[in-house]
Structure 1
Amino acid sequence: MSQQASRDAALPDDEAGLLSVRDLDAGYDDLQVLDGVDLDVRDSEYVTIVGPNGAGKSTVMKSVFGLTTYMGGSIAFGDAEIQGRAPEHIIHEGIGYVPQTGNVFAGLTVRENLEMGAYVLDGVPEDRLRRVYDRFPILEEREDQTAGSMSGGQQQMLAMGRALMLEPDLLMLDEPSAGLAPDLVEDMFDRIDRINDDGTSVLMVEQNAKEALRRCDRGYVLVQGQNRYMDDGDTLLADESVRREFLGG
């Protein structure tokens, strides 16, 4: 008998932790996509959002980062209420965001892309650049190469490295394995695991739902802009309804 995934999408207030989204309504101009979404990420937690195409998964992260039209509800990050605020203000709170596409400056070199990640600082801290190079050695090898001439996997590592230049408390990743060759997907997930193991909270939207749920601490299933299930990844994977409806059996 499988475990039963929870339909209650909100953690108790005393467990909410770093990011707390409550009853969020959001969309684009007059188009509402999210309807009463709840979501939490604790300190150092790895959370994945899965669901069918058009469910609003990416819209959740874009809303946290101030890239959608806010229509109601609340988004708290630490002690700050950030709903309706612009990305240039939200980034100072400690949130990094890597979109699925258009996530590198193609005409700039690898190093210049990483330096752009630190644009809000007075200078480019060499120790932070060193930590990114240690995490992604290929970026140091290619630091003078233009980003647009790199492979898809290398560009994804560069986009993540740029977001990490500000050492965010929360790293949000939108479909990090999209477009990668199958032999590179596991490596990308391993790198995300290590980022989380080092203490950075991760919120990820991912098309490879089974693998994402295997690795995360907790998952959310969104359907038509609303929460359908929330539970730890293993419980969601074991739930017969979740597997049948969203994971291909």
Structure 2
Amino acid sequence: MTALEVSDLDAGYGDLQILEGVDMTVDDGEYVSIVGPNGAGKSTVMKSIFGLTTYMGGSVTFGDQDISGYRPEDIITTGIGYVPQNDNVFPSLTVRENLEMGAYILDGVPEDRIQQVYDRFPILEERKKQKAGTMSGGQRQMLAMGRALMLDPALLMLDEPSAGLAPDLVQDMFDRIDEINDDGTAILLVEQNAKEALRRCDRGYVLVQGQNRYEETGDALLADDQVRQDFLGG
């Protein structure tokens, strides 16, 4: 069953249009990656779904709800979580306080959800009193994902989760995303490490100049000579 459906989406920033007629779907529990060259509009797709750009046309549907043009504070209540690439933690707050902020729309702090995050990312429990701004890049990324999981989203959108991580931490980050998906959360991922993203995902989209260029299973895109030559470095 389709969870997210993006249809003929036009969006950008102010008067500047970036996306033109973008189509995209994510089924319940599916893992989908968006890859493409720099400046293709990959992050703009994520921001547009989450209401952070100028909506210009088309539709975004989540479940049975048309969320086209919704504000982020309304979209988060529908079951979509979003982790941006930059500025994705509150540096002056502790780990625990960051997680509490992830549940700010609820009446109280769900201790069971915090424990679930700690169980998934044990380092966060060890450092629950540490200020987020003093943590390593990998730890901050875990915290950002943990905060987004506090509302138990049906779909988790991740923008460049491996950006800035040391090479030995990249595989661990992908493994953790796999585990989140294995537990039933659908994933929509934008990732600079295109080959690894396509190896892991169920389906992938190649975006070029704000438009769909290819859509196939991750394995099929990896095996496509033209895709490999043009977008994956051969």
Same fold (TM over 0.5): yes
Could you tell me which runs of 5 or more consecutive residues in structure 2 were left unpaired when the two chains were aligned. Answer: none
Give 1:11's aligned residue.
none
Give 2:68's aligned residue.
83
Could you tell me which runs of 5 or more consecutive residues in structure 1 were left unpaired when the two chains were aligned. Answer: 1-14
Aligned AA (2:33)? T
CA distance in 2, matches of 1:84, 1:29: 14
CA distance in 2, matches of 1:228, 1:157: 32
Counterpart among 98, 106, 117 of residue 132 in structure 1: 117
* SS of residue paired to 2:9: strand
Give 2:106's aligned residue.
121
Counterpart among 151, 165, 171 of residue 180 in structure 1: 165
* SS of residue paired to 2:125: helix
Aligned AA (1:95)? I
Counterpart among 212, 216, 221 of residue 231 in structure 1: 216
List 4+ stretches of structure 1 deviating above 6 A. none
Counterpart among 174, 177, 198 of residue 189 in structure 1: 174
The offset of 1:232, in angstroms, is 0.3
CA distance in 1, matches of 2:134, 2:111: 25
CA distance in 2, matches of 1:105, 1:200: 24
* SS of residue paired to 1:229: strand
CA distance in 2, matches of 1:60, 1:28: 12
Give 1:101's aligned residue.
86
Q: Is structure 2 residue 16 aligned with structure 1 residue 19?
A: no
* SS of residue paired to 2:214: strand
Normalised to the residue count of structure 2, the TM-score between the two structures is 1.00
The sequence identity of aligned pairs, in percent, is: 78
The offset of 1:114, in angstroms, is 0.2
Q: How many residues align?
A: 234
RMSD over aligned Cα, in angstroms? 0.5
* SS of residue paired to 2:152: coil
Normalised to the residue count of structure 1, the TM-score between the two structures is 0.94
Give 2:153's aligned residue.
168
